[in-house]
Amino acid sequence: MWYDVLWDAFLDTLKLFPFLFVLYILIELMEHNTALGRPHSALSRRWGPALGAALGLVPMCGFSVMAAKLYQYRHITVGTLVAVFAATSDEALLVLLLEPTLAWDAKLFSVLGLLAGKLVLGIAAGYVLDLLVKGKPAPLPEHREHAHGEEHGHGHAHDEEHEHGEDHEHGGCACDELSACEHKKESKVTLYLVSPLLHALQVAAFVFAVNLAFGFLFFGLGEENVVGFMRGAGYWLQPLVCVLVGAIPNCASSVVLAEVYALGGIGFGGLFAGLIVNAGIGYPVLFKRGMGKRGLFILLGMAVFAIAAGYAASALSLLF
């Protein structure tokens, strides 16, 4: 029923909100160079892809959203972002573990195979990308460069030197292009609690809208039709079809992939491909704030990568 779609969208968003709130608190700490904010450098340097892939394995959709926001704010590299996206499986792992139709040996093979494969491929893809782009963080979206202070309720003008990362003095406080000025008039409660709360609510509203839209899409198409479409694709076309389903930015897509696999509708290669490209709400969040072209490029790259990984997994499953 339509009510169920609305309720599911609300619950999925509610589960994500604590991640968003904590994320924006951390971003404020990072941007103001506090002692608590400095450890984020581990995610932006040599250990970034490895740590990102490890975090992505945790069966929660919040990590892909957190990675997308950190990438927008230039706190992680594209390699770390892709490592998180590739390792993320949302709720698929839980569905496989709890699915009564799967024998325990099949569950063990499926879950361990997914975890190991996604971890290795996520780390490998992350480091290769960082080597290709020399580990540079994402460029700030244009309006982010000129109006970061606006998000906190104050607008600072930035000149060319500021855009190139040189620090400027604004009324006795040092700023760079990554951080807002320390405003003496702004209390710590406002800076580290109220502002993150408002940002988290804004993103949560956006996530709710996306969840609702794709929930209605699934409801309109009918889950049975989606399952039938995947089953009818044939063994060697399944990675392509599963990538299309997995790219849908909604937690339901990973659940559908896991359930169809458990029922024997798709092989492990199709499941693997669909879950490699699946990153929950990470893609729509990434497209926000002037990063549409870069986000689309990352999505297409992830799709090609997932298709190749799916065919490789299909070939290996035939051998073993």
Six-digit token pair at 156? 């600072």
What's the rounded mean pLDDT across residues 131-154? Answer: 55
pLDDT of residue 147 exceeding 60? no
- SS3 letters for 203-259? HHHHHHHHHHHHHHHHHHHCHHHHHHHHHCCCCCCHHHHHHHHHCCCCHHHHHHHHH
- How high is the pLDDT of residue 162? 40
Among 148-152, 228-232, 274-278, 279-283, the range scoring the smallest mean pLDDT is: 148-152
- How high is the pLDDT of residue 280? 81
- How high is the pLDDT of residue 44? 59
Indicate the domain borders of the chain: 2-319
What's the rounded mean pLDDT across residues 221-232? Answer: 69
Distance linking the first and last C-alpha atoms of the chain: 43
Q: What's the gap between Cα 1 and its chain centre? A: 29
- How high is the pLDDT of residue 122? 95
- How high is the pLDDT of residue 135? 60
pLDDT of residue 12 exceeding 70? yes
What's the rounded mean pLDDT across residues 68-96? Answer: 88
The overall average pLDDT reported for the chain is: 77
Among 246-255, 283-292, 305-314, the range scoring the smallest mean pLDDT is: 283-292
